[in-house]
Structure 1
Amino acid sequence: MTTNDPAGDSAAPVDAARAKSFGAVAAAYEVGRPTFPVEALSWILGPGRGLQVLDLGAGTGKLAAVAAGLGHHVIAVDPSPEMLEVCRRRTGIDTMIGAAESIPLAHASVDAVIIGQAFHWFDHARALPEIARVLRPNGVLGLLWNNADTVVPWVRRIWQAVQGDGFGGSDRFEPLPILEQSNLFTMIEQARFRHWHDLDRGGLRQLAQSHSRVAVLKESRRDQVLEQIDLIYDHTARPPEPLRMPYLTDCFRAHPSEFANYRRTMDGPVAPHL
């Protein structure tokens, strides 16, 4: 999921439809969307290996794969069977159907909860207590968003085509007020990392198709958007060189507060540390 698809705590029906649209475009999501910088996840998880990591709202497992590549034990949880079917093709990742508002794991069972491109879709009043519940006392919560660098003119034209009338200004989701108001996490730290995603003509088209605003359009309107995307590629790319889509990855990390740790011990038994 993506910050180009923001959603508030009280989503309108169209937002609910968009939130459920990703399963139908799992293949496009896998090809068109970028991975996450290794440096970003290392900043969140630290330099060690062997952590029990929950990738929540894991989608096709792009972020989970980076965590597994760093030597961690990863559980990917997502409500979409179609997304998890793609994720299961990756090595070193366990998968479970589940939602952020009802995480299918025991109390204090993971060292880290990482969330890439998904936190803005959660019901935060229900999800944050669940996240704090499954984290161990010294655990870490990491939020990551890949944001296309729309300062680049051709990138801006792509997002104008994808977002249509909704384009304009900054639509990057701001998690700080939500985390601070919950009282469940310590002071939040922030970092930003730059990276690129190489796309051919078909890949750029699939990137557009993977976005919820496009996925929920009527077929005729969706075809018009994809034609615009093709034209942008034809006027920008220099085959056989790939089109390098620039991204800025915004990262946030926080640890459970003393209140969250106390609440967890009152709520139920703690899972053993494996």
Structure 2
Amino acid sequence: MRQPLENVRYWRSDDLDGPETNRVLRSAHTFPKHSHDQYAVGLMEEGANYCHGRSRRSSVVVGGQVCLFNPGEVHSGEPERGVPATYRMFYADPHWLHRVAAELGGRDAGPPDFRRLIVPDADVLRAFLRLSDLVADGAELLARQSAMVGAFSLVLARHGGVRPEAVTARDGNAAVRRVRAYLAERLAHKVSLEDLAEATGLSRFHMLRVFRDATGMTPHAYHTQLRVDRAKLLLRRGWAMADAAQETGFVDQSHFANTFRRYVGATPGQYLSR
């Protein structure tokens, strides 16, 4: 009897030129031999699945492992002994991932190539789980872009044959100063990863890496902290909460209050109470 695909949810972000993602909960569906035009990254959360590849040896992917498919690679998927599987998939356009690989390596060495079908890599797993959660939650653009480039850069560096280009300390320090200044001047504006890369002259991956290494924060987290700090000042000066939220770029008062509480440990009202 054919098993239906149940509890499947897809997410696509119109403002991202990167991957489509989905999550499948407790599925016993068996996939026939097929291929994808895109690169595919699969995260097995629970259960196990046979991955019958054609160009690479078939294997079983189990919970906590990552499965990597190159475009056009013929494969199938079958739950192990009918045990339902919970997993997430990411499908990346080849031209987009090729561009990420060129940025990462500092040169165009051709399309990236995943060498292994299944990898037990907890760092890659966490990076893609975070990306999936941010996309599903509709997080701010800079947060989603940063997680997307970070996750795919990591899997390319570890399993796609791409060696990251080195960045000098001088270039890195200058880039961090420019990012700080750029974000401080745009507290009420949406900022994209491309904006920051252009401002620093670095690739998106290298800008993210040097900023995180220097500050311990992503540019999005740093920008949010600046916006909350500014909002605190405005509230102390007597601004209404709605006006303070708008002035610091929050989409609505609920978003403002939730973010404020996460960073301050109190609601705006509690912060002003005496």
TM-score by length of 2: 0.26
Larger Rg: 2
Higher helix share: 2
**Bigger relative contact order, structure 1 or 2 (CA pairs below 8 A, ≥6 apart):** 1
TM-score by length of 1: 0.26
